[in-house]
Chain A
Amino acid sequence: MGIFDPVKGFGVTFGMMFKKVATEEYPEIGAPAAPRYHGRHQLNRHPDGLEKCVGCELCAWACPADAIFVEGGDNTEEARYSPGERYGADYQINYLRCIGCGLCVEACPTRSLTMINFYELADDNRQDLIWTKEDLLAPLLPGMEQPPHPMRLGDDEQDYYVNGPELARGRGVPEQETVETDTEEAVR
């Protein structure tokens, strides 16, 4: 052991002061997560605010933890929630069961169900951890309108699916963004 060794130790400590800090200031400053982190789910909307969910239950079928409950409903001329015939009338995800695997997102045929970065899923009772459609639906962005309302962007559901990206641009969603990643942005 040399005579300068204690000083060397201080040197290391001193040197660290000029390095980038790895500490995350949580919870004071945000809840960081990688962009593709499997956080909570979000039910996305078409650019005019209609729901993308068609109530097909493929997410529930894919779910290995049986965390998702869906019941379909029939769109009528008076009350339309999604383009086409069918919409998800009841949608629940039980976060006590969800293992965040993302198979539901892969199963979703309309890209209605995606996951966002939000992961603060803790509560003091079981009931509140069953998230319903109101909790899961994406917020209304500018240009969106709370359903039920008629199809604003086309005559049938084909127009919504075929022209989706252009419609989104037309409603003011920026070039590199898709509608469904917006909340991810907001949390970060």
Chain B
Amino acid sequence: MTVAPEKSDVDVPEGYVKLTIDGEEVVAPKGELLIRTAERLGTVIPRFCDHPLLDPAGACRQCLVEVEMNGRPMPKPQASCTMTVADGMVVKTQVTSEVADKAQQGVMELLLINHPLDCPICDKGGECPLQNQAMAHGRTDSRFVDKKRTFPKPLPISSQVLLDRERCVLCQRCTRFSDQIAGDPFIDLLERGAHQQIGTAETADVLDAASHTSESDSASAGKSASAGGQPFQSYFSGNTIQICPVGALTSAQYRFRSRPFDLVSTPSVCEHCSSGCAERTDFRRGKVMRKLAGDDPEVNEEWICDKGRFAFRYATAEQRIRRPQVRNAETGELEEASWTEALRAAADGLAKARDGKGVGVLPGGRVTLEDAYAYSKFARVALRTHDVDHRARAHSAEELDFLASRVAADGGPAGGGVTFADLEKAPIALCVALEPEEEAPAVFLRLRKGARANDVKVVHIGQWASPAVEKTFGELLACAPGGEAGAVDGIAQHAPDVDEALRSEGAVVLVGERAAEVPGLPTALHRLAERTGARLAWIPRRAGERGAVEAGTLPTLLPGGRPVTDADARSEVERHWGIEPGTLPAEPGRDVTGMLNAIVTRDLDGLLVGGVDLDDLPDPALARKAFDAAGFVVSLELLPSTVTPYADVVLPIAPVDEKSGTFVNWEGRRRPFTVTLDGTGALADSRVLDTLGVEMDADLFTQTADAARGDLDRLGAHEGTAPKGTSVALSATKVPPGASAEPPAPGDGQALLATWRQLIDDGSLQIDEPALAGTARRVVARMSRATADGLGDHVTVSTDRGSVTLPVEVTDLPDGVVWLPGNSPGSKLRATLGAGHGAVVDIAGGDR
């Protein structure tokens, strides 16, 4: 029995307690777990189930320590991961206590009784907490001589996640993650006692053959729905693989690919959505092997979505463009060319088009800040135009004003913008035209965390109670697609409690990119923010959009949020860029649709295109017509795309793994990343544009990402008479309250189309990932029972352009509305229907 030192001169502040660990006095905040206090002292107590972001479970019993309270020792060693610190506690860990050490060794021996010890064929081998702690805290011999319990292995619990129950130590990290963090009915504990195991509803069926046979006949509705009727699916399943302390959960993608000591790790930033999650990219022999979640408490904590984790093989795809291509004037075919030749051809063509009717620039929404800046500067300096727009999606003039006045002027986290941490503590978070789980999964996780921990009231203005609504314990204010503006304007009438909550301190309104498709919605949101004082955050779907706004790839904005129409701002930029005063046109340029129309009417000659898919544009038919009519098209691309057939020159560019740069996430936070695969010879957009600029006698000074960012930073943000918060621009669009037109009423056999894209779909950055594609949500058409009445199992949704036939799932949508995924296999709405959110479509019973 140890007695705590009699006298001590350690001050204990309010809310803290003093205890002794291994004879050392320590002050710890009340409620801290013993295992963390010990860790702060430098004593690592072995553990499996303990995870700082999950609730304590005390499942593995590996962290036993000896504890003494009020001078009386507890009769048995205690689990330090569930016990909180208390005043006067005396703790002895394995360092000073033989009892604790023996207890830990005993637990380790028990855990290893049924472990197959198949480390040589296990993906976790080399980075396995069980391996490491067995070496550090286990015995060299086992006294167990009987036959080990075996299970068939591996058991695929989704196309991506493989379960090996023999290796499992039942720490329940995965089940707690699914339950607490993701909220998906993904994986759970089954059976009891020695038969306890991890599994899913499907594996439970295998265990219980009787229930399986009785269920399987009736379960003809859908194969991917498990016997329990709940779809067996999660967008966050990859995290369970990462936090599994043994090799029980492994991924199909990384299966047997390499060992940790083969891998070189680089911190990186996810390129898929605007959350800008921290990642760790591991590569071997010049090839990315896997991506893991990085630890960034400010942004993604320790979690990332499956798309961010598994979708990276697009960069090594067979068809990737590695060499420049120039269209042969005689044969009309693209032919590989040298960089010199291709740049010459591109420069000549662009200069000719510029001196004719002009060139439009479409950088696309996946650019880094530096690349966006290069496009912005190239358009202004080399092409002498404001015809630049990165919005390769539905867009509107109203949205442009919204971006200029609300987003470009928002100073990011430092300037009081909404942050991830704000979502966690907000009294209310109103999501408008945003499906957080599909469009920004990290935002969804924060909303759910806030809703669980701090009672954040999450309100969604949408069409149906999607999984995200349910998992954020949210309230749905359903409206017809296109009726969002009316719903926002009328919030004081139809939801006075929400209106009241929005007036409280810290209230947050989150807007998705779909807002651009709803006339009047950006203005209505602006009015709502002005009226209630709630803070507004724009959460686009693509990683580069926020940075592109900052870099000024918009027809009305120069870099740093400077309005094109502001003479002072123009001359400031002209001075900084060292170009003749008065060179920058005083009139704003054209937006994407404006440019495409101008090409068709021969008011524009050429196009410089970045990562743009024509099928993402609001009118793919118009886009094809315009690209066909364009005099000269230069495409900067990674993979052959819908633009490639129209391109006169194709210049290959580097994927994010092969360049450095910065993404600006939706908060406005800069997320810099360095090059992962060095020396591949692939060039970033900014470098290609810089060289192209030199060929055209225009100096961009964007040779490297650092140079481009330095140039942008020296220019700084706009400080003049900004339209900041004053809604100058927005009121100029003159959409009075209530005038946000009611959505058109669908006639007989018609419906209003509601749509958004699912996280895992046919996106061009998700190619070559069959295991990931297998975890996508089912592609179904959703409509109310009344709307689905008489349609049968399948519905054909059509416009005059084409039709889509999908199975019907009855959902709580308003009557006369049909929801379809935007870009999933068999449901590519822009490409086939040419229609988007809020359009009127024909519906009929489909046969398939």
| A58 and B119 alpha carbons, distance in the complex (Å) | 10
Chain B residue, CB-CB nearest to A108: B120
> Which residues of chain B come closer than 8 Å to A131, judged between CB atoms?
none
Q: A72-B256, A73-B256 are known contacts; what are 14 more A-B pairs with Cβ within 8 Å? A: A55-B256, A56-B119, A56-B121, A57-B259, A57-B262, A60-B259, A61-B126, A61-B259, A71-B257, A72-B258, A74-B256, A84-B121, A86-B121, A86-B256
Q: In the bound complex, do residue B261 and residue A58 qualify as a contact, i.e. CB atoms below 8 Å apart?
A: no
Show 30 A/B contacts (Cβ-Cβ < 8 Å), sorted by A.
A54-B120, A54-B121, A55-B121, A55-B256, A56-B119, A56-B120, A56-B121, A56-B125, A57-B259, A57-B262, A60-B262, A61-B126, A61-B259, A61-B261, A71-B257, A71-B258, A72-B121, A72-B256, A72-B257, A72-B258, A74-B255, A74-B256, A84-B121, A85-B121, A85-B153, A85-B154, A85-B256, A89-B256, A109-B120, A110-B120
Q: Can you list, as one digit per residue, whether each of B222-258 has a CB less than 8 Å from chain A (1) or not (0)?
A: 0000000000000000000000000000000001111
> Which residues of chain B come closer than 8 Å to A84, judged between CB atoms?
121
> Which residues of chain A come closer than 8 Å to B259, judged between CB atoms?
57, 60-61
> Which residues of chain A come closer than 8 Å to B258, judged between CB atoms?
57, 71-72
Chain B residue, CB-CB nearest to A158: B150
| Contact residues of B between 76 and 131, Cβ < 8 Å to A | 119-121, 125-126
| A54 and B123 alpha carbons, distance in the complex (Å) | 12
Cβ-defined partner of A58 (8 Å) among B120, B154, B255, B262: B120
Interface centre among A55, A60, A71, A73 (most CB of B within 10 A): A71
> Which residues of chain A come closer than 8 Å to B121, judged between CB atoms?
54-56, 72, 84-86
Chain A residue, CB-CB nearest to B252: A74
B449 to chain A, nearest CB (A): 36
| A72 and B258 alpha carbons, distance in the complex (Å) | 7
Interface centre among B120, B153, B154, B261 (most CB of A within 10 A): B120
Closest 7 CB pairs of A and B: A72-B256, A56-B120, A86-B121, A109-B120, A57-B259, A54-B121, A86-B256
| Contact residues of B between 140 and 175, Cβ < 8 Å to A | 153-154
Q: Can you list, as one digit per residue, whether each of A61-79 has a CB less than 8 Å from chain B (1) or not (0)?
A: 1000000000111100000
| A126 and B88 alpha carbons, distance in the complex (Å) | 69
| A50 and B279 alpha carbons, distance in the complex (Å) | 39
A108 to chain B, nearest CB (A): 9
| A61 and B258 alpha carbons, distance in the complex (Å) | 11
| A73 and B123 alpha carbons, distance in the complex (Å) | 11
| A57 and B262 alpha carbons, distance in the complex (Å) | 9
| A58 and B262 alpha carbons, distance in the complex (Å) | 11
> Which residues of chain A come closer than 8 Å to B255, judged between CB atoms?
74
| Contact residues of A between 43 and 61, Cβ < 8 Å to B | 54-58, 60-61
Interface size class of A (residues with CB under 8 A): 10 to 19
| A85 and B166 alpha carbons, distance in the complex (Å) | 14
> Which residues of chain B come closer than 8 Å to A57, judged between CB atoms?
258-259, 262
> Which residues of chain B come closer than 8 Å to A71, judged between CB atoms?
257-258
| Contact residues of B between 368 and 385, Cβ < 8 Å to A | none
Chain B residue, CB-CB nearest to A88: B256
Chain A residue, CB-CB nearest to B116: A158
| A110 and B125 alpha carbons, distance in the complex (Å) | 16
Interface centre among B258, B259, B262 (most CB of A within 10 A): B259
| A112 and B548 alpha carbons, distance in the complex (Å) | 56
| A60 and B121 alpha carbons, distance in the complex (Å) | 14
Chain A residue, CB-CB nearest to B120: A56
| A73 and B259 alpha carbons, distance in the complex (Å) | 12
| Contact residues of A between 73 and 131, Cβ < 8 Å to B | 73-74, 84-86, 89, 109-110
| A110 and B118 alpha carbons, distance in the complex (Å) | 11
> Which residues of chain A come closer than 8 Å to B119, judged between CB atoms?
56
> Which residues of chain A come closer than 8 Å to B120, judged between CB atoms?
54, 56, 58, 109-110
A12 to chain B, nearest CB (A): 60
Interface centre among A55, A72, A73, A109 (most CB of B within 10 A): A72
A86 to chain B, nearest CB (A): 4
A113 to chain B, nearest CB (A): 12
| A109 and B117 alpha carbons, distance in the complex (Å) | 11
B155 to chain A, nearest CB (A): 12
Q: Can you list, as one digit per residue, whether each of B41-69 has a CB less than 8 Å from chain A (1) or not (0)?
A: 00000000000000000000000000000
> Which residues of chain B come closer than 8 Å to A73, judged between CB atoms?
256
| A55 and B257 alpha carbons, distance in the complex (Å) | 10
| A71 and B126 alpha carbons, distance in the complex (Å) | 15
Chain B residue, CB-CB nearest to A58: B120
Chain A residue, CB-CB nearest to B154: A85
> Which residues of chain A come closer than 8 Å to B154, judged between CB atoms?
85
| A55 and B121 alpha carbons, distance in the complex (Å) | 7
| Contact residues of B between 292 and 347, Cβ < 8 Å to A | none
B34 to chain A, nearest CB (A): 35
| Contact residues of A between 4 and 60, Cβ < 8 Å to B | 54-58, 60
| A58 and B257 alpha carbons, distance in the complex (Å) | 14
> Which residues of chain A come closer than 8 Å to B125, judged between CB atoms?
56
| A55 and B120 alpha carbons, distance in the complex (Å) | 8
> Which residues of chain B come closer than 8 Å to A109, judged between CB atoms?
120
A77 to chain B, nearest CB (A): 14
Q: Can you list, as one digit per residue, whether each of A117-149 has a CB less than 8 Å from chain B (1) or not (0)?
A: 000000000000000000000000000000000
| Contact residues of B between 154 and 201, Cβ < 8 Å to A | 154
| A61 and B119 alpha carbons, distance in the complex (Å) | 13
| A34 and B255 alpha carbons, distance in the complex (Å) | 41
| A143 and B293 alpha carbons, distance in the complex (Å) | 49
| A110 and B121 alpha carbons, distance in the complex (Å) | 11
Chain A residue, CB-CB nearest to B284: A71
| A85 and B122 alpha carbons, distance in the complex (Å) | 10
B684 to chain A, nearest CB (A): 30
> Which residues of chain A come closer than 8 Å to B153, judged between CB atoms?
85
| Contact residues of B between 255 and 307, Cβ < 8 Å to A | 255-259, 261-262
> Which residues of chain A come closer than 8 Å to B126, judged between CB atoms?
61
A82 to chain B, nearest CB (A): 9
A45 to chain B, nearest CB (A): 17
| A61 and B257 alpha carbons, distance in the complex (Å) | 15
Chain A residue, CB-CB nearest to B153: A85
| A71 and B263 alpha carbons, distance in the complex (Å) | 12
| A57 and B125 alpha carbons, distance in the complex (Å) | 10
A73 to chain B, nearest CB (A): 6
> Which residues of chain A come closer than 8 Å to B262, judged between CB atoms?
57, 60
| A55 and B259 alpha carbons, distance in the complex (Å) | 10
A179 to chain B, nearest CB (A): 19
A46 to chain B, nearest CB (A): 15
A13 to chain B, nearest CB (A): 60
Chain A residue, CB-CB nearest to B152: A156
> Which residues of chain B come closer than 8 Å to A74, judged between CB atoms?
255-256
> Which residues of chain B come closer than 8 Å to A86, judged between CB atoms?
121, 256
A122 to chain B, nearest CB (A): 27
> Which residues of chain B come closer than 8 Å to A56, judged between CB atoms?
119-121, 125
| A89 and B257 alpha carbons, distance in the complex (Å) | 10
| A85 and B154 alpha carbons, distance in the complex (Å) | 9
Interface centre among A54, A85, A110 (most CB of B within 10 A): A85
| A86 and B118 alpha carbons, distance in the complex (Å) | 11
| A84 and B166 alpha carbons, distance in the complex (Å) | 14
> Which residues of chain A come closer than 8 Å to B256, judged between CB atoms?
55, 72-74, 85-86, 89
B253 to chain A, nearest CB (A): 11
> Which residues of chain B come closer than 8 Å to A89, judged between CB atoms?
256
Chain A residue, CB-CB nearest to B256: A72
B259 to chain A, nearest CB (A): 5
| A61 and B261 alpha carbons, distance in the complex (Å) | 8
A105 to chain B, nearest CB (A): 15
Chain B residue, CB-CB nearest to A107: B120
> Which residues of chain B come closer than 8 Å to A55, judged between CB atoms?
121, 256
| A155 and B119 alpha carbons, distance in the complex (Å) | 21
> Which residues of chain B come closer than 8 Å to A110, judged between CB atoms?
120
| A66 and B705 alpha carbons, distance in the complex (Å) | 35
B232 to chain A, nearest CB (A): 23
| A58 and B121 alpha carbons, distance in the complex (Å) | 10
Chain A residue, CB-CB nearest to B164: A85
A43 to chain B, nearest CB (A): 15
